[in-house]
Amino acid sequence: MDFNTDEFFYGINKSLYYKTEEQKNEIKKMDPEYLTRTGTDFVLLPNSPDFINHNEPFEPMYIPKQTILEESLRREIERICFADTLLNKVVFDCADPSPFTKDVDPATYGLEVLPYYIPQSKEDSTLVFESRFESGNLRRAIQICDYEYNLILKPDYYTTMNTQWFYFSLSNTRKDVEYRFNIINMMKPDSLYNSGMKPLMYSEWGAKQKKIGWFRDGHEICYYQNNMKRKNGGFYYTLTFAVKFQYDFDCIYIAHCYPYTFTHLCRYLKQLESDPAKKNRVKRKQLCQTIAGNMCDFLIIGDFNNGKEKKGIVITSRVHPGETMASYVMEYMIDFLTGNTHEARILRENFIFKIVPMLNIDGVVNGNYRCNLAGVDLNRQWIDPNKKQHPTIYHTKQLVKKTKEERDLVLFCDIHGHSRKKNIFMYGCSGKDPNRKELVFPMLNRNNCSVFSFKDCCFLLQKDREGSARIALWRELSIINCYTLEMSFCGADFGKYEYFHFNLDIYKEIAQSFCLSIIDCYEPEQIKVKQVLEEIEQNSLKNQQKDDKNNSGDEGSDYSNDDPKEQAMPQQQQIQLQNNDQQLGSQTKKLKKIPLLPPKKKKGQ
């Protein structure tokens, strides 16, 4: 077999499939409590990908053409009508053994593990898929045409649901060839991919030659209901997109959002502890072990001049593994709080911060979107968490209670991502304060952050969310400022970043604005607090009730964004998007069923 002798052959990243002696020695030196454990039959590759640090440019959302749904349905009908002509070749499965490499010794290639498929020659253009790295999620790839693939995601472990997060690689690309990918077992009835969002991609050759990190790519993107029935009723949904790659024999990573793994967190916390300028401002402590045996830590940040007069703040994130932006915002918050700025010093002098950076470690490791290894949504377990099945929630709740006993606990916030709305916003709880002071902190964030949308905030107590941290802790511990901070997977629909994707720079702004809003909320003069309280008083009770009534579920608002920097969308573009939304909303066609697996060949064929 003919292949390159360097780290890449056919574009396959060989470093994923073996550990160097240096890496093996590094593992021996590690604290065994911080070795990554899956707790499942999911066996990780020897290594996970490393990505360069790169400031991604502000990339605009795309405007879907008005006929995209019709074209997508037409292609699906053609696949049904000409099913006998499809290849239906399984070229990747993360669990089943490979028929292509079962008799091949990995040592032949200098590897410990083999890819599922290895091209037979340079003329073999079959893509080589991989997802057996940390946080990876791709169950199966089926080649249906030369350059078209149906992809099936893994549902969250011990569930049949929650297929939304995806993260995988593909190699052996051909330059300027149009590939099409159809993820055919999505669950949600609508998606931001129909509102201008593009998938994230990363090119190994682009990073090596041009120092380009993650970028947005793809065209002819559409998310629609397909004909495949789910066992519990309803239908699956398809995300389809086409893409042309810039290099031959490249390795491309494709993800729903910027990956942030448990290993990434452990490295970051170790660097934080080792930083001579920061190590005296933060303490790292063990909270508990997860179901899989991974260690969940929490941080205490302050100047550690003891005093019960200091107010307490608890911040958590990553209860939903697929909401990776929450980890980036959390990391930037920690950087700000432990930094050298005047504002950071004020915060450390006046507050004790207790931070749990990753609540659902097992889900993160295994590539889940929402649940833990007990198959439950941990953000519905806060009323009465089980110590064995929900250990991180149980011990975090004890941490919150202890903090409230020790000092005045003035703020709790759980950081999330949102898959169907744009902008940054908060969910809070109303009812305990007749003056509605729960509105103050979100309004301060609106004033400090260019992408924070107060009109998207909601302060309703939804029945199906009573087990969330926001509502359960608000009710039990009477924390007026008890929130979830929600960030769109896509971007903003107002202001200077209108119709641009969020990137890491935006996440940093969100983190810093959140910290500055804490100062505004509790500074002695209360100047900015008084201003927003006056704004609250100026809004009539009638309008508040009307807004609460008209907004349901995830949406709710009492006041609007009064952002002088907000710019209107061009009228022609508005009309085009509105027409597209109407068209994509009328998905009523039903098609003949397409099997998730290729049909089995009859004997003798």
Strands (E), 384-479: 409-418, 424-427
CB atoms near residue 300 (< 10 Å)? 15
Take residue 63 and report the two structure tokens written for it: 């405007």
Question: Can you tell me the distance from the alpha carbon of 9 to that of 7, in angstroms, rounded to the nearest whole number?
Answer: 7
Task: Specify whether the CB–CB gap between 443 and 454 falls below 8 A.
Answer: yes
Give 170's DSSP letter: E
Closest Cα to residue 315, out of 301, 295, 305? Answer: 301
Closest Cα to residue 461, out of 444, 476, 475, 445? Answer: 475
Closest Cα to residue 503, out of 555, 451, 456? Answer: 451
Which of the following is catalytic: 148, 438, 486, 498?
486
Angle at CA 221, nearest 5°, toward 236 and 509? 100
Question: Can you tell me the distance from the alpha carbon of 293 to that of 33, in angstroms, rounded to the nearest whole number?
Answer: 8
Task: Specify whether the CB–CB gap between 314 and 411 falls below 8 A.
Answer: yes
State residue 498 phi and psi, 5-degree precision: -55, 130
- The question of whether 405 is a catalytic residue gets the answer no
Question: Can you tell me the distance from the alpha carbon of 566 to that of 452, in angstroms, rounded to the nearest whole number?
Answer: 12
Question: Can you tell me the distance from the alpha carbon of 137 to that of 156, in angstroms, rounded to the nearest whole number?
Answer: 9
Sort strands 282-289 and 424-427 into parallel, antiparallel or unpaired: unpaired
State residue 409 phi and psi, 5-degree precision: -85, 105
CB atoms near residue 512 (< 10 Å)? 21
Which amino acid is present at 394?
A: Y
Residue keyed to tokens 């709880």: 429
State residue 364 phi and psi, 5-degree precision: -60, -45
State residue 17 phi and psi, 5-degree precision: -105, 5
Instruction: Give the contacts of 188 (CB within 8 A, at least 6 positions apart).
Output: 164, 237, 419, 420
Active site residues: 486
